Amino acid sequence: MSIHELLPQIKDISPFKHYGKVTQVLGLMIESKGPQASVGDLCSIIVGKAFPRKILAEVVGFRDQNVLLMPFDRVEEISPGSLVETMNHPLQVKVSSAMIGSVVDSLGRSFDGSELEGGFQSFSTDNPPPNPLKRPRISEPLSLGVKAMDGLFSVGKGQRMGIFAGSGVGKSTLMAMIAKNSNADLNVIALIGERGREVRDFIERDLGDEGLNNTIVVVATSDQPALMRIKGAMTATAICEYFRDQGLNVTLMMDSVTRVAMAQREIGLAIGEPPTTKGYTPSVFAILPRLLERSGMNESGSITAFYTVLVDGDDMNEPIADAVRGILDGHLVLDRKLANKGHFPAINVLTSISRVMNDIVSEEHQQTADYIRNMLATYHDSEDLINIGVYKKGSNKEVDEAINMYPEIMAFLKQGLNESNDFSENVKMMIQQFGKGGQA
């Protein structure tokens, strides 16, 4: 790096350190008199008398000339008068290809405490999304290795999809299938607000060594402070952006956006924001598009993103689900009734959609997918009559065809965790079985 490139950085360096003192701790929030800092800046709070250590915190607002801080750690050791030192910059994480195959926390540190070796670069966790006029259009499908998705909800490189489901319907299993079977250059999986027990289960049971070899896992468990859960989502997206800028096609899987929204609600309520829709604060609906719009295409590479949304009581119209659905390029709805029957992935074909599928698949592929949806819709409309034995064969030709095709369609859509074909094989299989009205 030349001296001319370093000059702007040198000008920003201050010869002074700015300090403040803690005046109040109220719930999640720390209030201090000083230091001079901006919203989003990192600060360190010096705690402990015999063995001083630093707790990282972030400036989240101001009140009567006092600074409002939210900690990255627990606040037990903070006392009145604890020194607060500003770092004069927002959170940055160290990123390099040495992270591939590892599990890191929200600050990019190895979760098992080991040191990651490699040429790391500092990368901001909060970056603007790509310029809308410079985003290339999505024109190429991404092979996911999941028959239902490749066939009926084809996903393009740079597309953003939502996975909507209640608890225990198979979101993590579907994410693991995508991570192991897709032909993306790299997978980044963000586990936000997960139970501690489930993290290792997901990595060892669902993902396995095969999936982890090409994956970076970012973990922020449910016991961590709200700010760590938000930064987990930001850090995972920043890692994807770093590798996208290197020209790679990256797949981002975030489980779940709902817990990011809940963490932002905690922070918003703590700093005095009014609760609005179902208790969510206005900042929740500001942070969602800021986070979700960062994925997608840019001039160098792509981030194909899958965001899971945990819907309370399987209500697909609750505020977060509604907001996320309006931002993304499609959504998959996982059906508890299908999951209870042992049908995985439990995708409800009739309530799911991919908004870019028409632009990336052939006409024959699109027609076959439409035929399958039509057969499922026809069967669903007459299902009650069929189940109680009222419907008589021959009454309606289309219903007769739907009854005959339904077992074949459901068998095609069902897939084991270790079963995999690429995009072209899945599409070819679907067209051979159901093309031209199921006659091929």
Length of the chain: 440
Look at phi and psi of residue 161 and say left if phi exceeds 0, alpha if psi is from -120 to 50, else beta. beta
Contact 88, 16 (CB under 8 A): no
Token digits for 146? 């999941």
What pLDDT score does 110 carry? 87
pLDDT digits (tens, 9 = 90+) for 265-303: 999 998 889 998 888 999 999 999 999 999 999 999 999
Dihedral (Cα; 23, 24, 28, 34), 10-degree rounding: -20
Whether pLDDT at 1 is above 60: no
16-20, 114-118, 198-202, range with the lowest pLDDT: 114-118
Contact 328, 162 (CB under 8 A): yes
- Write down the CATH number for the domain with range 16-90: 2.40.30.20
Q: What is the DSSP letter of 153?
A: S
What pLDDT score does 34 carry? 83
Q: What is the DSSP letter of 23?
A: E
218-227, 252-261, 270-279, range with the lowest pLDDT: 270-279
In the block, tokens 């020194």 appear at 83
Strands 42-47 and 53-63, bridge-based pairing: antiparallel
Where exactly does CATH 1.20.1270.330 map onto the chain?
364-434
Dihedral (Cα; 59, 60, 61, 63), 10-degree rounding: -80
Which helix (H) or strand (E) segment holds residue 95: the answer is: strand 92-95
**Average pLDDT of the chain to the nearest whole number:** 89
Instruction: Place 11 in a pLDDT band, splitting at 50, 70 and 90.
Output: low
pTM above threshold 0.85: yes
What pLDDT score does 121 carry? 87
Q: What is the DSSP letter of 115?
A: P
Q: Which amino acid is at 406?
A: Y
In the block, tokens 């632009």 appear at 359
What pLDDT score does 15 carry? 66
Residue 253 three-state SS: strand
What pLDDT score does 395 carry? 85
**What number is the average pLDDT over the span 185-198?**
91
Dihedral (Cα; 115, 121, 125, 131), 10-degree rounding: -150
What pLDDT score does 14 carry? 63
DSSP letters for 123-141: EESS-PPPPTTTSPPP-SB
What pLDDT score does 280 carry? 92
**What number is the average pLDDT over the span 200-222?**
89
The more confidently predicted of residues 391 and 148 is 148
Nearest to 17 by CA among 78, 66, 88: 88
What pLDDT score does 136 carry? 94
**Which residues have a Cβ under 8 Å from the Cβ of 113 and sit 6 or more positions away?**
none
CB < 8 Å & 24+ apart, contacts of 311-316:
311/164, 311/165, 311/166, 311/258, 312/166, 313/166, 314/165, 314/166, 316/164, 316/351
Which of the following CATH numbers is that of domain 93-361: 3.40.50.12240, 3.90.180.10, 3.40.50.300, 3.40.50.1970?
3.40.50.12240
| Alpha-carbon 395 to chain mean position | 47
Q: Indicate the burial class of 3 (C-beta count within 10 angstroms; 0-12, 13-18, 19 or more).
A: exposed
What pLDDT score does 440 carry? 42
Instruction: Place 224 in a pLDDT band, splitting at 50, 70 and 90.
Output: very high
**What number is the average pLDDT over the span 206-222?**
89
What pLDDT score does 13 carry? 62
Nearest to 354 by CA among 337, 331, 327, 377: 331
**What number is the average pLDDT over the span 37-49?**
89
Nearest to 237 by CA among 193, 293, 197: 293
Contact 265, 323 (CB under 8 A): no
Q: What is the DSSP letter of 116?
A: P
Report the distance separating Cα 424 and Cα 432, nearest Å: 12
**Which residues have a Cβ under 8 Å from the Cβ of 108 and sit 6 or more positions away?**
93, 94, 95, 99, 235, 239
What pLDDT score does 10 carry? 60
Strands 42-47 and 83-86, bridge-based pairing: antiparallel
Whether pLDDT at 29 is above 60: yes
What radius of gyration, in Å, describes the C-alpha atoms of the chain? 25
Where exactly does CATH 3.40.50.12240 map onto the chain?
93-361
Q: What is the DSSP letter of 203?
A: I
Where exactly does CATH 2.40.30.20 map onto the chain?
16-90
5-19, 70-84, 261-275, range with the lowest pLDDT: 5-19
What pLDDT score does 413 carry? 95
CATH fold of 364-434 reads Substrate Binding Domain Of Dnak; Chain:A; Domain 2 (1.20.1270)
Token digits for 303? 């981030």
